[in-house]
Amino acid sequence: MTVVLAIDIGGTKVEAALVDQDGTVRAGSRVRRPTGRDIEPIAMRAALAEVITEATAAPGGEAVLAVGVGTAGPFRDAGGVIAPVNMPGLNGFRLAEEVAGIAARDLGRELPVRVGHDGSCLAVAEAWIGATAGSTASMSIVVSTGIGGGIVIDGVLIAGASGNAGHLGQTHISGEGLTLEEVASGPASVAWARARGWRGTSGEDLARDAAAGDETARAAIVRSARAVGAGLSDAITLLDLEVVSIGGGFSQAAPDYIELVQEGLAAAAVLDYARSARIVRSGLHGDGPLVGAAAIALRSAGALS
How many angstroms separate the CA atoms of 115 and 117, rounded? 7
Query: What is the residue-averaged pLDDT of the chain?
Result: 95
> Cα dihedral sign for 177, 187, 127, 3?
positive
pLDDT, residue 300, reads 78
Low-confidence winner among 145-149, 252-256, 276-280 (lowest mean pLDDT): 145-149
Segment 281-298, tens digit of pLDDT: 999 988 998 999 999 999
Q: Phi/psi of residue 246, each to 5°? A: -125, 125
Q: What is the pTM of this model?
A: 0.90
Summarize pLDDT for 142-157 with one digit per residue, the tens: 999 899 999 999 999 9
On the question of pLDDT at 115 being above 90, the answer is yes
Q: Quick one: pLDDT at residue 79?
A: 80
Which tens digit of pLDDT belongs to each residue from 54-88?
A: 999 999 999 999 999 999 889 988 888 999 998 99
> What is the band of 305 on the pLDDT scale with cuts at 50, 70, 90?
low
Residue that wins the pLDDT comparison between 171 and 299: 171
Q: What percent of the chain has pLDDT over 70?
A: 100
Q: Is the pLDDT of residue 176 over 80?
A: no
pLDDT at 259: 98
Question: 77 or 300: whose pLDDT is higher?
Answer: 77
pLDDT of residue 1: 76
Contacts of 244 (CB under 8 A, 6+ apart): 132, 138, 139, 140, 141, 232, 235, 236, 277, 278, 279, 280
Q: Can you give the residue ranges of every domain in the chain? A: 3-116+287-300, 131-281
> Does position 304 have pLDDT exceeding 80, yes or no?
no
Q: Which tops the pLDDT comparison, 262 or 86?
A: 262
Give kind and range of the element (H or E) at residue 292: helix 288-300
CATH number assigned to the domain with residue range 3-116+287-300, chosen from the 4 options 2.60.40.790, 3.30.420.40, 3.40.190.10, 3.40.640.10: 3.30.420.40
**103 and 131 Cβ atoms separated by less than 8 Å:** no
CATH classification code of 131-281: 3.30.420.40
H/E element, 216: helix 215-239
Indicate if 131-281 has the same CATH topology as 3-116+287-300. yes
The answer to whether the beta carbons of residues 67 and 111 sit under 8 Å apart is yes
Around Cβ 250, how many Cβ atoms within 10 Å? 29
Q: What is the pLDDT of residue 299?
A: 83
**CB atoms inside a 10 Å sphere around CB 273:** 12
- Mean pLDDT within 165-184: 92
Amino acid identity of residue 215, one-letter, is E
Of the candidates 204, 275, 254, 235, which has an alpha carbon nearest to the alpha carbon of residue 119?
235
